[in-house]
Amino acid sequence: MSVSPLTLTALSAAVAVEIAVAARYLARVRMPRPPVGVYTGGDVAVLCAGVVVAPLLYAALPGAAVSAVFGLVLCLAVQFTLAPLLTAAGLRATPWSWGAALAGTAATALAALTGHPGGARAGSGLLIAVAVVGVANLWTQSGLRAGHTAALAAALTGYDLAATTLTDTTARFFTQVQDRPFAPVLALTGGDRPVAVGLGDLLLLVLFPLVAAKAYGRAAAWSAALAGVLVTSAVSTCFALGVLSGGFPLLTALGPLIVAQHLYWRRRSGGERSTARWREGRPGPAPAPSGIELAAALAAPVPEGTPPGSWLALGAGRVLGTGPTPGLARRDARRQGADTTPTTARMV
């Protein structure tokens, strides 16, 4: 059975819209964060461990229980995504965000229980789309660095390859959650061969443009978004042409691209900028101290007759003041009209 090219195009469009919405959210909405804490390599390692272990744990649970777990997680994620959005809109965030999250979750569950798989799929997709926007923004705004994201992508690429092609872990998991509500896939169609993108793939497709925007700026964000949509479209094309027919580990293509982009931009910008610099709109990482003033001070010509032991206040490549101590030399420079703090050195 062939897959409709239109549906595959719609999937690429859905990914593009999702990235655009997440980027808009990043630009407009400030999410809360705890008083202290930054992401570390350990956090990424824990995340990777969770991704590896979770499907194994789910396999031991009945399908309904897995749906319940994902329903709960999605409900929470939708709530914390909507809350700051509603706050920014001047609404009472807590009741409205909880109301919307619970209503969406309940409607999806109800559609599934009453035999409306299309409704359940649409509800799940909507919840997943909102949750991914929230999680990607939460991580980005909480200081997740592009390096961390690249490391995560690299680790998950290896895992995805092993779980999807070398073993049947992914296949068994998708069989378990297939056509159930809250399944961790953004699915446009149902059945045995759904047109869908997995939650992990979608998260990285959305996440990297956001962290690239934070770490390296607009150009990096655009190229990351474009790369993600192109990879999705390329894989879709392969499905449309019949080159691919079963599940494809998208991260095996996306992961290396993310790593390559990160390395390129890091080399080009000299490093990642901090969240503070990103929010202030300052480009690139904080510049390393240059020591130019010291070099200029060492090269400044000393006036004839300056007695040894004098302290010289040096600035702009010349002597601005002198004194018996560094403080008095600095004061002399101020009295001579120097409006910036000079460097002082002792005449030897």
Partner 1 sequence: MSQLRYGAAILTNRRIRPGDLERLARDLVDTIAEFGEPGEDSALLPGRAGQVDPQLRREVTRRSLRATARTAVRHTAYYRRLFAELDLDPAKLEPEDWSRVPVTPKQALRALPAAFVSAAATPALMALTTGTSGTPTAVWFSRAEIETAIAFSTISAVLGLGLRPRHTVAYAGCSRATLPLVYAEESTTRAGAGFVQFGTVDPALALDRLAAPLGLPGRAPQITHLTTSASYLAALVQEAEQQKWQRGDFGLESVSVGGEVLSAPLRRRAEAVFGAAVDSAYLMTEILPSGASPCTEGHLHHTTEFGHLEVLDPVSGEPTAPGGIGIVVHTPYVPYRECTLLLRYATGDLVRLPDEPPDCELAHLPATSGILGRWSGPLSTAVTTREVLDLVEAEPEVPLPARYALTEGPEGPAGPARLHLLVPRLPATALLGRLEVRAAAAGLRLSAIVPHEDRATMPPTAPVRADLREHSFEAPGATDPRRR
Tell me the closest approach of the beta carbon of residue 33 to partner 1, in angstroms. 4
Closest separation between CB of residue 32 and partner 1, Å? 5
Nearer to partner 1, 180 or 330 (CB): 330
State how far the Cα of 166 lies from the Cα of 50, in Å rounded to an integer.
Answer: 20
* Triad 292, 297, 298: Cα angle to 5°: 100
The region of 62-70, 91-99, 155-163, 321-329 touching partner 1 under the rule CB under 8 A is 321-329
Residue 4 binds partner 1, judged by CB under 8 A: no
Inter-residue contact 305 to 295 (CB < 8 Å):
no
Site for partner 1 in 239-278 (CB under 8 A): 274-276
Taking the least distance from each CB to partner 1, the nearer of 227 and 345 is: 345
Q: Does 212 bind partner 1 (CB under 8 A)?
A: no
Please select the residue that binds partner 1; options are 55, 143, 198, 228, rule is CB under 8 A. 143
* Position among 6, 17, 20, 38 found at the interface with partner 1 (CB under 8 A): 38
Partners of 321 in the beta sheet?
313
299 burial (CB, 10 Å; 0-12 / 13-18 / 19+) is: exposed
Q: Is 36 in the site for partner 1 (CB under 8 A)?
A: yes
- Supply the DSSP string of 139-202, one letter for each residue: HHHTT--HHHHHHHHHHHHHHHHIIIIISSHHHHHHHHHTT-TT-SEEESS-SSS--EEEHHHH
Q: Does 310 bind partner 1 (CB under 8 A)?
A: yes
Using the minimum distance from each CB to partner 1, give the nearer residue, 137 or 233. 137
Is residue 318 part of the contact set for partner 1 (CB under 8 A)? Answer: no
Distance between CA atoms of 250 and 186, rounded to whole angstroms?
A: 14
Closest distance to partner 1 from the beta carbon of 310 (Å): 6
Nearer to partner 1, 189 or 310 (CB): 310
Q: Does 307 bind partner 1 (CB under 8 A)?
A: yes
What is the rounded CA–CA span in Å between residue 259 and residue 279? 24
The answer to the question of residue 87 lying near partner 1 (CB under 8 A) is no
φ/ψ of residue 55, rounded to 5: -60, -35
> Per rule CB under 8 A, is residue 348 in the interface with partner 1?
no
Q: How far is the CB of 181 from partner 1 (least distance, A)?
A: 34
The number of residues in the chain equals 348
Question: What residues from 276 to 295 belong to the interface with partner 1 (CB under 8 A)?
Answer: 276, 279-280, 288-291, 293-294
The answer to whether residue 308 forms part of the interface with partner 1 (CB under 8 A) is: yes
117 token code pair? 């798989």
Beta bridge partners of 319: 314
- Of 76, 59, 56, 50, nearest to 182 by C-alpha is 76
Please give the residue ranges that form the binding site for partner 1 (CB under 8 A). 32-38, 143, 274-276, 279-280, 288-291, 293-294, 297, 307-310, 313, 323-328, 330-331, 334, 340-344
